[in-house]
Amino acid sequence: MKKILLTLFGIVFMTMSLFAQGMGVATLCHNDSTISAYYGRGALVDACNAAAAGDVITLSAGFFNASNYTISKSITVRGAGCALDSVLHSYPTILTGSSDLKISANVVNFEGVYVENKVNLQTYGAVQFVKCRLSNVYCSSYTPAITFINSMIRSFTPYKSSSYIYNSILGYFNDSNHYADLECHNCFIKEYTDMKNSMFTNCIFEADQKSSTDSTLVTLSSTNIAYSCLGVGAKGDIFENVKRINNMSNQSIADFSVFKSYKGGMFKDDTNFELTPEAQKQYLGVDGKQVGIYGGDIPYDLVPTNPQIVKFNVDSKTTPDGMLNVDIQVGSAK
C-alpha cells in the first residue's frame, strides 16, 4: 500500500496520469478535510481500511478488487460511472472479484460503480445504490432499507428485507420463500414470478411463462398492488390477480412495439428501454408522465451526480512567458 497526502491539483494530476496508465486511484476524504490517495487494484480496500464513519471514497475509472472484503464502516463510495459514456468520454469504475463483497455497516452509499461480483448485505441498517450496475445483490439477513435509484440489478435476493426501487432495471428476482416487501416506481421488471406483498406504480413488466416447456402465462401474485403498470409480450392479462383498487389502470399488450429497440428476451448492459414517441404519450403513469424507467421525477440516467474529470491535458512545454497551458473538462449529470 502506498499513501500520499496531496493538494487538490496533485490529486487531479496523479489520478489522470495513473488512469492513462490503466491504474485506478481511490481518494479518501476524511471528516477533518484531510485527503489521502491510494492506487492500484487494492486501492478501494486500502481506502476502506483507513476510513472512519462518515468518510467519502472517490474512485477513478478502472478496476478495483472487492473480493472477500467486508465494508464494516458507514461510508460513501463514489465512482466515475458504471458505463462507458461516449458523450462525456468517460470510462466505468468496476469492482471485481471471485467472491462476495460484504456490507455489514449501518449506512453505506454507493454511486456510479459497476459491481461484477456478488454484493452480500449483512446489515440491519440502510444501503443505497445510485446509478450503479449490479450483477447480484443478496441479503443474508434482514435489511430494513435497501434503495436502488437509476440502477440495473441483474439478480436480487432480498430475504424479507424492505426495498425501494426507483427508475431502475430489475432482472431476476429470487424470493420464493421469504416474502420480502418491495416498492417499485417507474421500473422495468424482467422476472416477477416470486414477487409478493409489493406495490408497483408506473412500471413495465415483461411477460413470463411457467417454464421453458410450459408457455402458460405467469400472472402477478394476488398479494401485490399495481397502479398504472404495463405488461409487454403478454398473451393475456398479467395483472388479473392483483388486488383490485379503484382507479387502477393496468394494461397488458401482446408485443414489444412500445419500445424503440428492445424486442424482448435477454438484455445486455447497454440495452435501451426507451419508449417510442407514440408510447410515451399513450401509456401514462399516475403522475401523467410516461411509464417505465424514463418517466417520473428521476428519469433513468447513469451519469454520476458528482462531477467527474473527463478531460485533462497539459502542454509538454511552457509558453514564452513561462506559463503552462492546462485544459481540464468536468462533466456530471444535469
pLDDT tens digits, residue range 195-216? 888 899 999 999 877 666 777 8
309 neighbors 12 (Cβ within 8 angstroms): yes
Residue 2 in any domain: the answer is no
Residue 104 in any domain: the answer is yes
Above 90 in pLDDT, residue 107? yes
8 vs 236 pLDDT, higher one: 236
**Residue closest to 131 by CA, chosen among 85, 197, 189:** 85
Above 60 in pLDDT, residue 332? no
List the single range of 55-64, 67-76, 136-145, 222-231 with lowest mean pLDDT. Answer: 136-145
Residue 260's domain comprises 54-306
Residue 172 in any domain: the answer is yes
Residue percentage of the chain with pLDDT more than 70: 82
Tally of domains within the chain: 1
Residue 220 in any domain: the answer is yes
217 neighbors 234 (Cβ within 8 angstroms): yes
Above 60 in pLDDT, residue 20? no
Above 60 in pLDDT, residue 261? yes
Mean residue pLDDT across the chain: 85
Above 80 in pLDDT, residue 310? no
Above 60 in pLDDT, residue 87? no
Model confidence at 331, pLDDT cuts 50, 70, 90, reads low
What is the rounded distance in angstroms from the CA atom of residue 203 to the CA atom of residue 184? 7
**Helix or strand holding residue 45 (H, E):** helix 43-50
> What's the distance, Cα to Cα, between the start and end of the chain in Å?
36
Residue 281 in any domain: the answer is yes
Model confidence at 269, pLDDT cuts 50, 70, 90, reads confident
Secondary structure in 3-state letters for 253-320: CCCCCCECCCCCCCCCCCCCCCECHHHHHHCECCCCCECCCCCCCCCCCCCCCCCEEEEEEECCCCCC
Residue 161 in any domain: the answer is yes
**In this predicted structure, what is the pLDDT of residue 281?**
95
Grid cell in block for residue 157: 435476493
Residue 126 in any domain: the answer is yes
What is the rounded distance in angstroms from the CA atom of residue 146 to the CA atom of residue 119? 12
**In this predicted structure, what is the pLDDT of residue 109?**
97
**Residue located via cell numbers 466505468:** 92
> For strand 35-39 and strand 4-5, is the pairing parallel, antiparallel, or unpaired?
antiparallel
Residue 328 in any domain: the answer is no
**In this predicted structure, what is the pLDDT of residue 168?**
97
Above 50 in pLDDT, residue 108? yes
43 neighbors 19 (Cβ within 8 angstroms): no
**Residue located via cell numbers 472484503:** 69
